[in-house]
Amino acid sequence: MRMAMGLGCVFVLMTISAAGSFAQDRSQGRSMVISRGGIVAAESPLAAQAGVRVLESGGNAVDAAIATNAMMGVVEPMMNGIGGDLFAIVYDAKANKLYGLNASGWAPRGLTIEFLRKQGIREMPQHGVHAITVPGAVDGWQKLAEKFGRKKLSEDLAAAIRTAEDGFPVPEWTAAYWAGELDLLRSDEAASKVYLPGDHAPHVGEVFRNADLAWSLQQIAEHGRDAFYKGAIAQKILETMKHHNGTMLAEDLAAFSSEYVEPISTTYREWTVYEMPPNGSGIAALEMLNIMETFPLGQLGFGSTKALHAMIEAKKLAYADMAKYVADPRGQKIPVAALLSKDWAKQRAQLIDAEHAKCDVGAGELPGGSDTTYLSAVDRDGNMVSLIQSNYDLFGSGIVAPGTGFVLHNRGGLFTLDSASPNALAGHKRPRHTIIPGFAQKGDMRMAFGIMGGWNQSQAHAQFIANIADFKMNIQSAMEAPRFSKHTFSGCDVTIENRISGAVRNELSAKGHQIQVLGTYSSGVGGGQAVLRDFASGVNYGASDPRKDGQAAAELPY
């Protein structure tokens, strides 16, 4: 008996020692947030807390997402705000149904290729008044609140209004982004007045206040979307358009409406992955996954030369197809089913040379024809929201309508002036979009996820899903894991974080990849958030990327 007890003690000590060793040696820097209550994951702790407060006061995941997004527009104004567009995927737990909301705006009726050519413009402007399309975010908020929310829109916006009025200390990443855009902000008097108090970008810890934005949000709280598209805010926007010789008219704003659409999907290993349909670029993530599925990535190993080579080459092929075929589907046929087929992926995968990187990858011929914020939320009932919202570039167009406190985005910069392209500029047409919310499910698990960063997004989504499905990571580890990114559509250039070993980088270089090494947790590969619900246990999980200032926060029990 004494020997048995001794062996038992040894076993317990070994178990404790092994567990302690594992905890000390794990590769992820943060733990998942785990709760039976709701969780909000956002790029700012203040934004995540705004969403959690709404959950704790009886709101659901949609209310939390709106509150979080509104706060993000206050505390990270260069990335997002009510002057930009929005996409969301909503999971209704009771109905077990997904809804997609496309709240991306259209070009003004008068902004056409012919108009720009008469101005001597030969390429689509990337900043200034002619890059501005109708912002869709506010209409998106109202559509979401009316269909799914439990709270009044005014309640969802309350925390953001208070914070804009009272101010907040500027965090690290935000201060760095801000400091890099002085020239753009100084090019517009109203932008400089709002965002450069004392003629400087706020530094880390400096309190920044935006009373004009508080006014705009209060107008929306009191009058809903009409304040933005028909009322007092609209009047200020239209006055600014006239001042800058823009084409946007009252009808362009008043007639706009976001729309519910059916998410598109593919299977990857045991998961079903969902993205928004065109004009969003999420189809590139799904095609990339289909191509990657033809390779045994799990056997090749995470961070291996063979796995990374296959994934980088898959990215090039999927993006080439997206660049050729994806645009606003209204009035033209986009070959979504063909691009998502497994047979198409097998054909494209055959073009990948295991030993050599391809620097010039074209789109396949079908038969018959950077700056953003992402957040996710889950409530205690299992309702989930995957939401992404953006100004496109940092501080968008660089133009602020005086008195409004927000910058107007430059999403129109993604149009082309090539009249033969499906993405050619036209009045009341939406441009091809970089911003994409993601969703995935497997058995009893549902996951809302996203990773921001311009053309980084689809390739980052595919890597995140592979981390979970192939390399068996949890959502925090999958979000933190080193990533590659190729923002260009041609060439062999690719950026890789330095946590990928030097030996692997050298082997990739030998295959022809032109490697630029990034830092340990680089903004160059985007930043993301994720929440996961295990319906079998009723437990929620949250993850937040260390590449941003944010966190995943859980609501307190009742």
DSSP output for 116-172: HHHTT--S--SSSGGG-----HHHHHHHHHHHH-SS-HHHHHHHHHHHHHH-EE--H
Q: Which residue has the tokens 């940092």?
A: 394
C-alpha–C-alpha distance, residues 42 and 302, integer Å: 27
Q: How many CB atoms sit inside 10 A of residue 219's CB?
A: 20
The alpha carbons of the chain give a radius of gyration, in whole angstroms, of: 23
Q: What is the total residue count of the chain?
A: 558
Measuring CA to CA, which residue among 448, 446, 441 is closest to residue 543? 448
Measuring CA to CA, which residue among 455, 397, 400 is closest to residue 111? 397
Residue 543 parent element (H or E): strand 539-544
- Candidates 372, 373, 404, 416; catalytic one: 372
Measuring CA to CA, which residue among 124, 128, 224, 138 is closest to residue 429? 124
SS3 of residue 87 by DSSP: strand
Measuring CA to CA, which residue among 103, 113, 110, 404 is closest to residue 256? 103
Residue 99, beta-bridge partner list: 90
The answer to whether 386 and 541 are in contact (CB under 8 A) is: no
Residue 447, beta-bridge partner list: 440, 532
DSSP output for 374-395: EEEEE-TT--EEEEEEEEESTT
C-alpha–C-alpha distance, residues 546 and 480, integer Å: 7
Query: Buried (b) or exposed (e) across 17-40, using 16+ Cβ within 10 A?
Result: eeeeeeeeeeebeeebbebebbbb
Phi, psi of 314 (to 5 degrees): -65, -40
C-alpha–C-alpha distance, residues 336 and 439, integer Å: 18
The answer to whether 429 and 422 are in contact (CB under 8 A) is: no
Q: Which residue has the tokens 């008219």?
A: 249
Active site residue 372: yes
- What are the helix (H) ranges across 57-106? 61-75
Residue 504 CB partners (closer than 8 Å, separation 6+): 303, 304, 305, 308
C-alpha–C-alpha distance, residues 406 and 423, integer Å: 27
SS3 of residue 18 by DSSP: helix
Catalytic site residues? 372
